[in-house]
Chains A and B, each alone.
Chain A
Amino acid sequence: MSLVKEVDYGTPAAKSEKTVTINVDGFDVTVPEGTSIMRASMEAGIQVPKLCATDMVDAFGSCRLCLVEIEGRNGTPSSCTTPVADGMVVHTQTERLKKIRKGVMELYISDHPLDCLTCAANGDCELQDMAGAVGLRDVRYGYDGGNHVKTRQNGEENPRYMAKDESNPYFTYDPSKCIVCSRCVRACEEVQGTFALTIEGRGFESRVSPGMHENFLDSECVSCGACVQACPTATLQEKSVIEIGQPEHSVVTTCAYCGVGCSFKAEMRGDELVRMVPYKDGKANRGHSCVKGRFAYGYASHKDRILNPMIRENTSDPWREVSWEEALRYTADKFRSIQAKYGKAAIGGITSSRCTNEETFLVQKLIRAGFGNNNVDTCARVCHSPTGYGLKTTFGTSAGTQDFDSVEHTDVVILIGANPTDGHPVFASRLKKRLRQGAELIVIDPRRIDLVQSPHIKAAAHLALRPGTNVAVLTSLAHVIVTEGLFDEAFIRERCDWDEFQDWAAFVSDPQNSPEEVERQSGVPAETVRKAARIFARGGNGAIYYGLGVTEHSQGSTTVMAIANLAMATGNIGRPGVGVNPLRGQNNVQGSCDMGSFPHELPGYRHISDDATRDVFEKIWGVKLDDEPGLRIPNMLDAAVEGTFKGIYIQGEDILQSDPDTKHVAAGLAAMECVVVHDLFLNETANHAHVFLPGSTFLEKDGTFTNAERRINRVRKVMSPKNGFADWEVTQNLARAMGLDWSYTHPSQIMDEIARTTPSFAGVNYDLLEREGSVQWPCNEKAPLGTPVMHIDGFVRGKGKFVVTEYVATDERTGPRFPLLLTTGRILSQYNVGAQTRRTANSAWHKEDLLEIHPHDAEQRGIREGDWIRLASRSGETSLRATITDRVAPGVVYTTFHHPGTQANVITTDYTDWATNCPEYKVTAVQVTPSNGPTEWQVEYDKQAEQSRRILPRVDAAE
């Protein structure tokens, strides 16, 4: 294995279809029109010396190192800023150029420390490389004059010297090494879109400044690391590289955080991870990353990680470390005896959206073939199950329609119930780039998210609706589009069922669905809705992106169908730049749904009652499958409380923290006889577990993740599992202990089985993924290289189906006792229940969950910034600190659920989506009152948690 070195072409690729041929140093090279001479030369294999150019950002022309001579032209233009022209003859190395370059390098080096041997970038420094490339041997100016390098000069303090900024937990800024190439500033602006950096001052005083001469942590910086990646020297350097040294080999893999599915190079020294560097060929992220993916991997080696299997008879006992054999034997016997006593259906399992496709496939196979029932569910139950239902009903597939590249062709974006800058940061950066190029944005969200307004971004309309009124607002948008004749009749007639459209059109045209009527419920001014509808319908390519603010409602499935209706009515399906795009929360939530994690569906979204589909699996698995759908998570818990469900295998999910109505979940778990938690940490669910099977991280196994754009990305093992086994091996060993005859030796064999049984994966295998990097399903005979955009010539289900979306308000209502509406979300630096990110330095940004409350509501209640408050709903109460902000409207409060101490889900109710049981996290009527600190429940909970995490000291058997 060696270090994957990606070629830096110096400037971004030109997109023109017209080509131009030039001659560089005697070699002809043909490139798209608009390519820079620098890039064209690199494509011919000739590297022009450069410092300020890198292909992630536009050419800048400031370092004066990349000068070339062009026959017939005067002077020495910079090759990065000069585009190619047909017939151009370029010389990159002439006596004149060599002299100029040497002179430029001399100036750079005259104000740069000469500590190369002890510098963290030694071996990975472009300044060092260029000094070598131009043959610098001497610096005539000496090092005694004004400089930024020495702390003291002529016996006095050097006023130009600035100490290192170490405020960011992951990287340092050492101004003394800065050559002011602006690559960091431009990466922050062009790639990340945050504009947190600038060059302050001018001339010799110029230097990089985060914010207004602030330190990195206090500035607007979001720690995505694009600047660190862009820096050609050690000025911006990962602390891990400073501590460990340069990596010697790297492996391309896929991030295990959100559903964007960024590709990274895991750069290693031995079996030690030195750093994660986004991979430019990664088709989801195109070389960019966020703070989580790039930096927050420390949880993999955190001291809290459990590496040995453990069991206990009662959850009040301390844990006892045992061998893998004993743990698996114990589990298998328990499960079998439960089934003997309470029936086959008394056990079940939950697959993980954090684990690979292969692992998920095995867990559902274990349940269906081994447990002999269909009691399998997954955390998508609590996030995107309405997406599956809604898009399957309207379009015929349970997934988003586009790839992420599609956003580059979008003219108008509707963003509903998603906060991409926090939840899907790399997609947000790509979206912001498109918005800066002129695309319009309509935000439908109760909260003023960053994309409503942030530097260089301003939404054309913000529909700040009351939580719970999504359906009404979307229907009112449709009302405007239909009544004003803005729909795409040709598209609808060709691609959809015209009669159904007419029924739908009649429904939305009803005056009770007009923006003026809906305004009473939603609080969104009718004029804003009308404006937004016109922009979307007339604006060109219209794309809809949405998140859990759509699905986690009692009308989640209705809202998804309302979105689909809107896209079909405006003809925005089936080409780049348009579509319906669910932003999936977890790395493999798409994959876990694809892999048959739902109780009623076999892999590929085929109903369990379908004889032909069952037959395929029965033949290969050699068992008879139950044709009745099994229990969903909430039903399993209900059944447990009733005493008919007794055992559960939970892989990589913390239902106690992430599922609604914590007390009910706890009661369900407590009523079971054998709860098996397979995870990295003793999570909250494990407080009620009898068996703990240690899990492996994404760094420790092979497999695939499927991201929000249906892209199947390879996950590659970069180190051996610290716990001894990859998760797929653990599941296989459990299956064997239960008497199943499994003998997979590599996840690729599992993928082959998936391909054999599942038509949308028929063409997928590891060789193809190796060759192509990644593919988007469906990948089969019809689409051997996958399908970036779906429904191109027609909908998967045949004709697109318009569904009448009657608005049925939730039963959860505000009243005198609970006058406020609570909605929930997440924050950039933390991820989901925080099991991973809380165990990294990301906590520097978000130490605790806070309740956002409008100044008006806060004043009425006598609440000041930072006060402890009691948050109570009909379900329960908890305490946390308040922060006062006008991001939320009066009457609405907001919090995150990253910290178990907060227990936000003690508050949420058990109302769920009518079609899929997806819980209504986004609307809870609450009251907020001042308090002194944590509630009794929180104190009690902490005590119980601490009690249940005790592990007996290991007693080694005497020889």
Chain B
Amino acid sequence: MSATETTEEISVRVGTICDGLAGLEGPLLPILHEVQEEFGFIPEGALQTIAKKLNLSRAEVHGVASFYHDFREEKPGRHVIKICRAEACQSMGADDLGDHAKRKLKVDWSETTSDKSVTLEPVFCLGLCACAPAAMVDGKVVGRVNKDRLDRILSEVGS
């Protein structure tokens, strides 16, 4: 996607995705996933296109998209690190780990570093409670994360 892509071009791409998936039963979520896959986020205007294609109201599509934190409104950094903040991980020091990451990256939760390299996101349970604290780096889960391990990960992703 180029930075100068117009709303119309986005709408055409989103429309193509909709056409491909509209036949599914309950196609809205698969379409939102596919759009996020394609753009890295849900671009402004995509929801209107989806609403039109699926014959839903803007409100309905907005309601669904805003319910799921994973659907982003802005383009993320080149890498996405998610740190689990659920109960098991909290008990194993996830809060400290989160603070460490925020300090290191100079961002708050759900923000992207100024060089656009990393987006830091909270997540509530990755199903890795036995290996808490857990994280997810560009879609891959990582267990027993401590500050050292996190630093290593950060340096690997270039931050």
Contact = CB atoms under 8 A, between A and B. Distances in A.
Contacts of A453: 55
Contact-residue bracket for chain B: 10 to 19
B57 A195 contact: yes
B29 interface: no
B59 A197 contact: yes
Given A201-B66, A201-B67, A212-B47, A458 B55 contact: yes
Nearest to A212: B62
B57 A209 contact: no
B62 A213 contact: yes
Interface in B119-141: none
A198 B59 CA distance: 5
A45 interface: no
B60 A455 contact: yes
B56 A456 contact: yes
B58 interface: yes
A194 interface: yes
Contacts of B67: 200-202
Contacts of B63: 198-200, 209
Contacts of A219: 58-59
Contacts of A457: 55
Contacts of B58: 211-212, 219-220
Interface in B52-73: 55-63, 66-67
A210 B59 contact: yes
B66 to A, nearest CB: 4
A167 to B, nearest CB: 15
A196 B59 contact: yes
A91 to B, nearest CB: 36
Contacts, number: 55
B142 to A, nearest CB: 26
Interface in A451-469: 453-458
Interface in A827-843: none
B62 A455 contact: no
A198 B62 contact: yes
A198 B56 CA distance: 12
Given A201-B67, A202-B67, A212-B47, A194 B57 contact: yes
Q: Which of A200, A220, A454, A455 has the most CB of B within 10 A?
A: A455
Nearest to A196: B59
A186 to B, nearest CB: 12
Contacts of A455: 51, 55-57, 60
Interface in A172-213: 194-202, 209-213
Contacts of A194: 57
Contacts of A201: 66-67
B62 A195 contact: no
B62 A211 contact: yes
A195 B56 contact: yes
A195 B62 CA distance: 12
A195 B56 CA distance: 8
Contact of A196 (B48, B55, B57, B66): B57
Nearest to B63: A198
Contacts of B48: 212
A195 B55 contact: no
Interface string A618-653: 000000000000000000000000000000000000
Contacts of A200: 62-63, 66-67
Nearest to A456: B55
A211 B55 contact: no
A209 B67 CA distance: 12
A840 to B, nearest CB: 26
A201 B64 CA distance: 8
Contact of B60 (A195, A202, A454): A195
Contacts of A220: 57-59
A202 B65 CA distance: 11
Contacts of B56: 195, 455-456
A454 B59 CA distance: 13
Contact of B59 (A202, A209, A456): A209
Contacts of B59: 195-198, 209-212, 219-220
Nearest to A206: B67
A213 B67 CA distance: 13
Nearest to A219: B59
Contacts of A456: 55-56
Of A195, A196, A212, A455, chain B has the most CB atoms within 10 Å of the CB of A212
B5 to A, nearest CB: 20
A199 B59 CA distance: 8
Contacts of A454: 55
A145 B138 CA distance: 35
A453 B66 CA distance: 25
A227 to B, nearest CB: 12
Residue of B51, B55, B61, B63 most packed against chain A (CB within 10 A) = B63
A475 B14 CA distance: 43
A455 B55 CA distance: 5
Nearest to A195: B57
Nearest to B66: A200
A916 to B, nearest CB: 40
Interface in A741-774: none
Contacts of A197: 59
Interface in B28-87: 47-48, 51, 55-63, 66-67
B72 to A, nearest CB: 14
A457 B54 CA distance: 11
Contacts of B66: 200-202, 209, 213
A22 to B, nearest CB: 36
**Chain A CB within 10 A, most for which of B59, B62, B63, B67:** B59
B157 to A, nearest CB: 29
B60 A209 contact: no
B88 to A, nearest CB: 19
B74 to A, nearest CB: 15
Interface in A304-340: none
A454 B58 CA distance: 11
Contacts of A210: 59
A428 to B, nearest CB: 16
Contacts of A195: 56-57, 59-60
A182 B116 CA distance: 39
A456 B59 CA distance: 13
A453 B55 CA distance: 8
A449 to B, nearest CB: 15
Nearest to A201: B66
A197 B59 CA distance: 6
A71 B154 CA distance: 59
A198 B67 CA distance: 11
Interface in A17-33: none
A205 to B, nearest CB: 9
A675 B63 CA distance: 58
A204 B148 CA distance: 34
B55 A209 contact: no
Nearest to B62: A212
B70 to A, nearest CB: 12
Nearest to A458: B55
A220 B56 CA distance: 11
Nearest to A188: B59
A440 to B, nearest CB: 15
Contacts of A199: 63
A60 to B, nearest CB: 15
7 contacts: A195-B56, A195-B59, A198-B59, A209-B59, A213-B62, A220-B57, A455-B55
Given A212-B59, A454-B55, A458-B55, 19 more contacts: A195-B56, A197-B59, A198-B57, A198-B63, A200-B66, A201-B67, A209-B66, A210-B59, A211-B58, A211-B59, A212-B48, A213-B62, A219-B58, A219-B59, A220-B58, A453-B55, A455-B55, A455-B56, A455-B57
Interface of B: 47-48, 51, 55-63, 66-67
Interface of A: 194-202, 209-213, 219-220, 453-458
Q: Which 10 pairs of residues, A with B, have the shortest CB-CB distance? A: A198-B63, A195-B57, A212-B62, A198-B59, A455-B57, A200-B66, A202-B67, A211-B58, A212-B58, A211-B59
